[in-house]
Structures are given as structure tokens and as C-alpha cells.
Structure 1
Amino acid sequence: MAYRFAADALLVLHLAFIIFVLFGGLLALRWRWMPWLHLPAAGWGAAVELLHLYCPLTPWENRLRRAAGEVGYPGDFIEHYLLRLIYPEGLTAQAQLWMGAVVLLLNLAVYAHWLRRQR
């Protein structure tokens, strides 16, 4: 029971980290110290995706699930839990580029605004 709880808690933490990577820049508008946390997290998140690195949370979650008597899953967190949500069937490469551009422009706008407020 404790291993399953730990695996589920790690899953929630993993999802929270992904959300923070995507939207944490908005928190910098409220708290001046937030970029010190968000920028390294966003850098790690971008590196994992762009360089196809393996996030260490996935094997850790799988080990906890196996210790709880459950079966782990193949692949990584994104593939297992979020792939169909993030990449629905019929999604084109051009649509992905547009979505990536929107994310990049949103974060650039947030941090440009943040920098102006700091001056």
C-alpha cells in the first residue's frame, strides 16, 4: 500500500512539474524570485524533449509500482499518460510547430514583461 501511494504521489509530482515547466513563467509576474526556480525547470523540460533524454522520475515510478505488486509501463511518462492528450490522432507536424511557437512566444512575452517590471 505504501509503495502504491508513493508511486501515485510521484505521478502527481511529475504532472505538477510538467505544468510548472509550461506555465511557471506566469508565476514570475507575481513573485520576483520565481524565475530562479522556473528557468532551470523549463531548461530541463526543454532538454528532455528536444534531446530525447529519459526523465529519471519514470523509472522511479515504475520501480515503486513493481514493489507494490503492480506492473510498470513501457516508455516514459508522456507516452503512457499524456501522449494522446498532447498529440491527438491526426496532429500534423505543421500544427506541432505552431503550438511550439505559441508556447515559446507566450514565455518570451511573459519574461519580457517581467524584465520591464524589474527595471
Structure 2
Amino acid sequence: MPYKILADIVVLIHFLWIVFLIFGAFIGVKYKAVKIFHISGLIFAFIIQIFDWYCPLTHLEVWLRTKHDPALAYTGSFIPHYIEKIVYIELPRYTIFILTVFLCGFNAWMYRRKR
């Protein structure tokens, strides 16, 4: 049971991390430390998309779920696994890549606009 709870906590943290990457520029324009952390996170997200890696949080969650019940583990990326359950569609890898590029561009625009 503790592995399942820990895996659920990792999912929550992963979700909050994605929300921060999407909306972090709104806070980052005011606070330099948040801006540095946010831009670093965007760079990391971009790099893992380019090299087709999975986020370390995905690996941690899958490992925890496997420890709880091997049947609960999944392969692939965090985003399609959970988004598919919400909207019942599959997201191709290139779609996630395009959304990542758009997100980085939007945030770059936000930071440059506030100067």
C-alpha cells in the first residue's frame, strides 16, 4: 500500500510540475529565482523531447507502481498515459514535441515582453 500512495504522490507532483512549466512565466516575470528555475525546467523538458527520453518522475512512478502491483505499471510517457484516459485519444510523439516547442516559445515571449 505505501508504494501505491507514493506513486500517486509522484503523479500529483508530476502534474504540478507540468502546470508550473505551462504557467510559470506568469510568476517568473516577477521573481528572478522562479524565472531561472522555470527556464531550466523548460530546457530540460525540451531536451527530453529531443532525445525521446522519459521524465525521471515517470520512471519513479512506474517503479513504485511495479513494487505495489506489476499489473499497474505502464510503458511510455506520463502525458499520453494520463491524457488518453481523460480524452480517450492517443497523442503521437510529434504532437507532444510540437506542444513543447510552442510552450517554450510562449514562455520566451512572456519573458521578453516583460522587459
Instruction: Report TM bin, short chain.
Output: 0.7 to 0.9
Q: Which residue of 1 aligns with 2:82?
A: 81
| Other structure's SS at 2:72 match | coil
Q: 1:43 to 1:85 in 2, by over 3 A?
A: farther
Give how far 1:107 is off: 1.4
| Other structure's SS at 1:33 match | helix
Scaled by the length of structure 2, the TM-score of the pair is 0.75
Structure with greater Cα Rg:
1
Unaligned runs of at least 5 residues, structure 2: none
Q: 1:104 to 1:38 in 2, by over 3 A?
A: closer
Q: 1:29 to 1:102 in 2, by over 3 A?
A: same
Aligned length: 111
Give runs of ≥4 in structure 1 deviating > 4 Å. Answer: 83-86, 99-102
Scaled by the length of structure 1, the TM-score of the pair is 0.73
RMSD of equivalent CA atoms: 3.0
Give how far 1:15 is off: 1.2
